[in-house]
């Protein structure tokens, strides 16, 4: 895999998908339907999914592409694959809260090595470079011209005053009980994979998730976090978090800046 070319392709597709999403987001009204698992889906999810999957298939025809909105792709497996959540945070999108993202990642050998997270309504763009390090691009975010790339790095956490970020739409008592095991100074709520990026940039120290997620929800944010020096582990035993699992379903997890002694489950 040519990682430099991959970064260019993923970045462009994420920006183009963001344009498609914002066109619908800024319209007067849009339909919301329920999928078979009762999760919501909109025309924006489907338009972004179709655009990204077609672009990846054209650029990398020999690499499996797994996308949230194409159920047929969920039954396939490979050691190397691209995985897409075209609109993570659909509830945030529906409620026009802005915390939704476009996510594209490459997984090799169970590890999300490269990824891009784009929050079009927030005008924030995070991705890994060809060498695996993570940056946040700032500026106009043109399709053909790459703007200033600011390297990002996780915090050196103050364990007596941790900054926690948790889900805006999926917060529950179990999550609060776990957070209460730490000495905290600040609590943020955010939607979608932006939570990973807040840890990656040092704006937060730890993100625990005690709820159902799929690999397409986490792979791109995980890649950016790893590229910024962060870690992601299983919640139950703090072992390495891997991808390519059966059905692409995740266990609970903790994403964090090294230096934190993790509390037991």
Angle between helices 43-59 and 3-25 (to 10 degrees): 160
Whether the CB-CB separation of 252 and 211 falls below 8 Å is answered with yes
45 carries a ligand binding annotation: no
Q: What single string gives the DSSP state of each residue in 195-251? A: HHHHHHTTS-SEEEE-S--BHHHHHHHHHHHHHTT-EEEETTT-PBP-S--GGGB--
Token output for 86: 């075209």
Q: Name residue, tokens 């991959």.
A: 6
236 carries a ligand binding annotation: no
90 carries a ligand binding annotation: yes
Rounded CA-CA distance 105/224 in Å is 9
Whether the CB-CB separation of 123 and 134 falls below 8 Å is answered with no
Q: Are strands 134-138 and 80-88 parallel, antiparallel or unpaired?
A: unpaired
18 carries a ligand binding annotation: no
Element (H, E) at 52: helix 43-59
87 carries a ligand binding annotation: yes
Instruction: Provide the 3-class DSSP secondary structure of residue 175.
Output: helix
Annotated binding site for substrate: 68, 87-90, 217
Binding-site residue numbers for Mg(2+) are: 68, 85, 87-88, 217
Which residue ranges are tagged as binding site? 68, 85, 87-90, 217
């Amino acid at each position: 895999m040519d990682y430099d070319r991959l970064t260019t392709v993923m970045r462009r597709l994420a920006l183009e998908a963001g344009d498609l999403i914002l066109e619908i987001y800024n319209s007067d009204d849009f339909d919301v339907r329920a999928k078979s698992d009762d999760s919501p889906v909109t025309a924006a999810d489907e338009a972004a999914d179709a655009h990204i999957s077609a672009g990846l298939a054209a650029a990398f025809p020999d690499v499996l592409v797994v996308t949230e909105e194409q159920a047929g792709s969920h039954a396939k497996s490979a050691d190397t694959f691209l995985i897409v959540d075209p609109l993570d945070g659909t509830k945030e999108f529906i409620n026009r809260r802005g915390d939704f993202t476009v996510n594209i990642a490459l997984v090799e050998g169970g590890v999300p090595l490269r990824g891009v997270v784009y929050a079009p309504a927030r005008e924030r763009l995070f991705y890994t470079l060809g060498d695996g390090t993570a940056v946040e691009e700032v500026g106009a975010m043109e399709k053909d011209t790459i703007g200033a790339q600011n390297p990002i790095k996780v915090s050196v956490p103050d364990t007596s005053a941790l900054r926690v970020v948790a889900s805006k739409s999926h917060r529950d008592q179990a999550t609060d009980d776990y957070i209460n095991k730490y000495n905290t100074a600040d609590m943020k709520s955010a939607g979608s994979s932006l939570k990973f990026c807040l840890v990656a940039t040092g704006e937060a120290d730890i993100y625990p998730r005690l709820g159902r997620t799929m690999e397409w929800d986490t792979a791109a944010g995980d890649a950016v976090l790893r590229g910024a020096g962060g870690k992601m582990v299983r919640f139950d035993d703090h072992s390495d978090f891997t991808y390519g699992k059966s059905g692409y379903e995740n266990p609970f997890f903790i994403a964090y800046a090294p230096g934190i002694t993790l509390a037991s489950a």
